[in-house]
Amino acid sequence: MDKEYERIKASGLTGDALLTVLTEFELKNMNHFSSKVDLGGYYLLTGNFQLAENFFLRAVEVEPKSPISMEIKQNISIMYGSLARIYLSRNDFSKAIDYVEKAIAAEEEQGKIYRFLKAHILIAQEKQEEALTLFYELYQSQREQMDNDDIQAFMYLLAKAQRFSDCAIMVDLYFEKGPFFQGLGVFASGAYEASGQPNKAVLAAFLDYEFYSGYIETNDSDFLANLNSLEKQQELMGMIHQTGPTLRLLRSLFDNSELNFERSYNAFFVEDYCYLKKKILTKTLSVNEFEQYLQLEHYFSRFPIYYWNIWQAALELSLTNTINLIPILEKIIILDRNGRYAQPAWEEITRIMGYARE
């Protein structure tokens, strides 16, 4: 059975053709373990949890009949870990924790990745302290394997435990590795403020407004009023000497005030964004600064306004044939077909392509 199975996997078949052959093989070889795990994995990845569960449970039944090898041990770990994911998705935390423990124990190296899943299950069980302890241990030993969900869960646990300095470090890590989501700016702002980083706190809070205003028409006068209130609070707290330049930088994006800000070049990426955006708005951006702005895409890949700024800057600098910039406009539309920048983007594409506007 194993030799035949290896021949199938090495056949070069892909997609539906491979799936059909694997399914037929599994039906003819009811005691073959790895084919059930592979088919279960396929259906898990395609979102068919019911079929995935069926194959994994059939694999559980025949696993004792399989010869022991490193590959079999790894597949046993995958089998149990996958079942843990399925039952976590169904809020059956008792089964999920039982299966994830088996996945961890089945094979040392493969099992390591399921320790992250265990931490998420502990959170779902409201065992916050256990989850925090495990995440901290994983951060020390396996931080390169932490994905965006792991980092996000860990930073929320740290905030709840009021470990704000550690939380701010994890927020920095999330910004470097993960995509922005609404609410991240306000959360980050709280972590930075509590850890003694007031300028980063102010800039992070601005991120949420910038993100929101890229999708919905906003009233900038409200933002300026909030900025004025914050400035008064900073004066009362005796912190305006620290945050004053940052507040002036933000205000300059919404009024006609001149850009009077000296960049530190060790700055938070949001400061770089604000500085360069002001240069775009005032049509004073240099070619080198345009390249610097492009380097910020990772942080702003979900901000329609970021791509609209690229378009405006590129037109002003006349850097390339406008038809080469169509992908920039398309990104705006993909992010939100009904957003405030989608229609202008469509109109620019229409103009570039030479179609008459109806």
- Let me know if residue 32 belongs to a domain: no
Cα 242-178-288 angle, rounded to 5 deg: 60
The confidence score (pLDDT) of residue 215 equals 92
The confidence score (pLDDT) of residue 320 equals 67
The confidence score (pLDDT) of residue 151 equals 98
Q: Which domain holds residue 345?
A: 262-358
Given a contact cutoff of 8 angstroms between Cβ atoms, the answer to whether 66 and 33 are in contact is yes
- Let me know if residue 299 belongs to a domain: yes
- Let me know if residue 190 belongs to a domain: no
- Let me know if residue 283 belongs to a domain: yes
Given a contact cutoff of 8 angstroms between Cβ atoms, the answer to whether 83 and 98 are in contact is no
The confidence score (pLDDT) of residue 357 equals 55
- Let me know if residue 210 belongs to a domain: no
- Let me know if residue 235 belongs to a domain: no
Per-residue pLDDT of the chain (358 residues; tens, 9 = 90+): 889 999 998 988 888 999 999 999 999 999 999 999 999 999 999 999 999 999 999 999 999 988 889 999 999 999 999 999 999 999 999 999 999 999 999 999 999 999 999 999 999 999 999 999 999 999 999 999 999 999 999 999 999 999 999 999 999 999 999 999 999 999 999 999 999 999 999 999 999 999 999 998 888 888 889 999 999 998 898 888 888 999 999 999 998 777 777 776 567 999 999 999 999 999 999 999 999 999 999 999 999 999 999 999 999 998 767 778 899 999 999 999 998 999 999 999 998 887 755 5
Query: What CATH number did the domain enclosing 356 receive?
Result: 1.25.40
- Let me know if residue 158 belongs to a domain: no
- Please tell me what DSSP assigns to residue 125: T
Q: What is the rounded CA–CA span in Å between residue 20 and residue 39?
A: 10
Given a contact cutoff of 8 angstroms between Cβ atoms, the answer to whether 207 and 270 are in contact is yes
Q: What is the rounded CA–CA span in Å between residue 44 and residue 37?
A: 10
Q: Which residues contact 204 (CB under 8 A, 6 or more apart)?
A: 171, 185, 186, 188, 189, 192, 268, 270
Tokens coding 230: 């914050």
- Classify residue 252 as exposed, middle or buried by CB count within 10 Å of its CB (0-12, 13-18, 19+): buried
Helices and strands (H, E) in the chain, number of each type: 20, 0
The number of distinct structural domains making up the chain is 1
- Let me know if residue 175 belongs to a domain: no
